[in-house]
Chain A
Amino acid sequence: MSIRHALLSLLGEGPKYGLRLREEFEQRTGELWPLNVGQVYTSLQRLERDGLIESDVEETVDGRSSQKRFRLTGAGRDELADWLRAPSGVTPPPRDELVIKVMVASTVPGIDVHEVLQVHRRHVVETMQRYTALKSRADEDDVGLALVVDAELFRLDAAYRWLEKADALLSRSGAPGYDVTTHGTPQGGAARDVAGTT
């Protein structure tokens, strides 16, 4: 999701000031996507230039300071409606670096692809542990955070399952097996030392 569409979404609820938009953006993304004020104002300027939002200046009571308040135009409302209905994630597959690394590891002599797969499995699960810790600490009513964290957890879960399937496929296709006698010891490769597991 672009900042541009995030701002249009927030303004879809009604007119808002720039600072308020930034606060709400961070709140809605579970603070996982921090923004600086500059990014917010640059995006707002572009949206205004493109005719998707408009602003007015509201002066405070004493007349000494003023803030710009933004609202959607008709074109902005149409853009938001179109974006909400546009297909997500159905673009051609990206060049996934993980897939490329596993493919390379399966062909380069001297590299144990199963050990490479295990290192990635651990990275994925460690990242999931951190997201789950974030979720378990948060208030169960914090739906915004749960939505963002769950999306990441499901994405990582898919990566984990792909790694498991890749391991099984490569074993069946005759790639050298995972040598537990070298990787399960302190002298092993990149997989973590597990001797004296505590």
Chain B
Amino acid sequence: MNEPAIELQRVSKVYGSPPDQVRALTEVDLTVRYGELVAIMGPSGSGKSTLLTIAGSLEEPSEGKVLVGGIDLAKASRNDRAKMRRRLIGYVFQDFNLLPGLTVAENVALPLELDGTGARAARSISLKALDRLGLSERADRYPDQLSGGERQRVAIARAVVGDRRILLTDEPTGALDSVNGEAVMRMLRTACREGVAGVMVTHDSQLASWADRVVFIRDGRVVDQTIPPPGADSLLSGGKPSGGRQ
């Protein structure tokens, strides 16, 4: 079994102060390992996006412990946390956030350059990431020359460029149609097969079904999860899904 990439231990998050306190998360335990894609599902306001921002160290928990890449975030300095965010974690949100004046390869190289990598080395790493994810033919195009699906795939390549091994996504297929959405999910799966730990927040069960594990969150608590699916071959003989705990 691979090493844990993200560990949330009894994490709670409360916004505001009494009497207008809002409890977004309550005692959440969650471990995501390298090479694993985990989907977080729940209705609006259930706390799933808060869970993602805390896992990505964009927010601090009110209680509990968060370890990213084995580092206890509470014990890391502000600078160390910022460095870890830049070097270890990639974020992909609904909007593609690609810079229109830069080519695909330059967009992907940008986080490396911002982190001090020389332009030539950054381009070389960027091209490798694009190649690994089947986008090398698009390297010298500009974002407005790409389809919506391709732009989102470039955003994923940028999120996992270099040594970043943790990918956090919030509704990564946004408003894409189902064909383009599926291409994005195939790419996410490829990245995870290459060892990236992926966490995807979604309300879409078709997207969630690409994950190795689906965690259900409700009223700020993790209430249930799927077990790794049995071999798909059992569908051919009319096999039933696993039963729950009775």
Measured CB to CB, the residues of A under 8 A from B are: 31-32, 34, 118-119, 121-134, 136-137, 153-154, 156-157, 160-161, 164, 167-168, 178, 180, 183-184, 188, 190-198
Contact = CB atoms under 8 A, between A and B. Distances in A.
B246 interface: yes
A137 B205 contact: no
B209 A131 contact: yes
Given A131-B235, A133-B232, A178-B218, A119 B244 contact: yes
Given A124-B205, A196-B29, A178 B223 contact: yes
A125 B223 contact: no
B242 interface: yes
Contact of A122 (B43, B219, B226): B226
B210 A132 contact: yes
B205 A160 contact: yes
A129 B226 contact: yes
B234 to A, nearest CB: 7
Contacts of B231: 130
Contact of B230 (A34, A130, A168, A194): A130
B218 A157 contact: no
A197 B224 CA distance: 9
B216 A121 contact: yes
Nearest to A119: B244
Closest 3 CB pairs of A and B: A128-B209, A134-B232, A129-B229
Nearest to B226: A126
